[in-house]
């Protein structure tokens, strides 16, 4: 074996992921544990998400407001034209479908929001899984390089007539490893 197969020292820079055809790692995996990760989302993306949420809430508020206005008008008409039993029954006939429609709209809006949140969570989990797989592949590659370098070092020490027991113990390898 030659010196060209030796592994670079641990303080040497890692290879460029673009040059090695490896997937780039997300910022969470490139920083030290506990370090703050900068938010690299575009501002327009964040505001678009907030606008979408605001639009949904605004639509729901408009539906509820329209229902309240219609019910208020119905009560005003009832009071204006003598509250008889027939008028109260008519008001119940008007109010029940309105309340049902508002409740149905709320239930559908809530279900759609839950579906969108679940889809976002699934996409986020998939991205984290891809990042973990890329990190595992990189770790496997580095482990193979470290093992190769350790084998080269032990072989060179043995060729030089040196004892390799300390190197083997420091590496934490089993006795039959070399």
For 91-144, what is the HEC assignment?
A: HHHHHHHHHHHHHHHHHHHHHHHHHHHHHHHHHHHHHHHHHHHHHHHHHHHHHH
Answer yes or no: is pLDDT of 85 > 50.
yes
Q: Rounded mean pLDDT of 161-178?
A: 77
Among 98-107, 119-128, 145-154, 162-171, which range has the highest average pLDDT? 119-128
**Could you tell me how far CA 53 lies from the centroid of its own chain?**
18
**Nearest residue to 146 (alpha-carbon basis) of 12, 10, 14, 13:** 10
State the DSSP code for 24: P
62-80 confidence digits (pLDDT tens):
888 888 888 888 888 877 8
Q: What is the Rg, in whole angstroms, of the alpha carbon atoms belonging to the chain?
A: 34
The angle that helices 85-159 and 43-80 make with each other, rounded to 10 degrees, is 170
Query: Which residue would you say has higher pLDDT here, 84 or 46?
Result: 84
Confidence of residue 167 (pLDDT cuts 50, 70, 90): confident
Q: Rounded mean pLDDT of 9-18?
A: 48
Answer yes or no: is pLDDT of 31 > 80.
no
pLDDT score for 129: 96
Tokens of 158: 């043995």
Averaged pLDDT score across all residues of the chain = 75
pLDDT score for 49: 61
Cα(121)–Cα(146) distance, integer angstroms: 37
pLDDT score for 123: 96
Answer yes or no: is pLDDT of 83 > 70.
yes
pLDDT score for 52: 65
The answer for residues whose C-beta is within 8 angstroms of residue 178's C-beta and 6 or more apart is 151, 154, 164, 168
Tokens of 38: 């900068």
């Amino acid at each position: 074996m030659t010196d060209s197969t030796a592994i670079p020292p641990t303080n040497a820079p890692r290879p460029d992921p673009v040059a090695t055809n490896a997937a780039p790692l997300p910022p969470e995996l490139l920083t030290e544990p506990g370090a703050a990760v900068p938010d690299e989302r575009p501002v327009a993306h964040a505001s678009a998400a907030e606008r979408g949420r605001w639009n949904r809430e605004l639509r729901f508020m408009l539906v509820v407001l329209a229902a309240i206005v219609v019910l208020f008008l119905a009560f005003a008409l009832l009071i204006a034209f003598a509250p008889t039993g027939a008028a109260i029954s008519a008001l119940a006939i008007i109010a029940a479908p309105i309340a049902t429609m508002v409740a149905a709209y709320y239930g559908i809006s809530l279900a759609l929001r839950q579906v969108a949140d679940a889809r976002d969570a699934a996409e986020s989990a998939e991205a984290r899984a891809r990042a973990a797989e890329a990190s595992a592949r990189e770790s496997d590659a580095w482990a193979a390089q470290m093992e190769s370098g350790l084998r080269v070092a032990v072989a060179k020490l043995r060729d030089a007539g040196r004892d390799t027991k300390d190197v083997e113990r420091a590496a934490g390898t089993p006795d039959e490893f070399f």
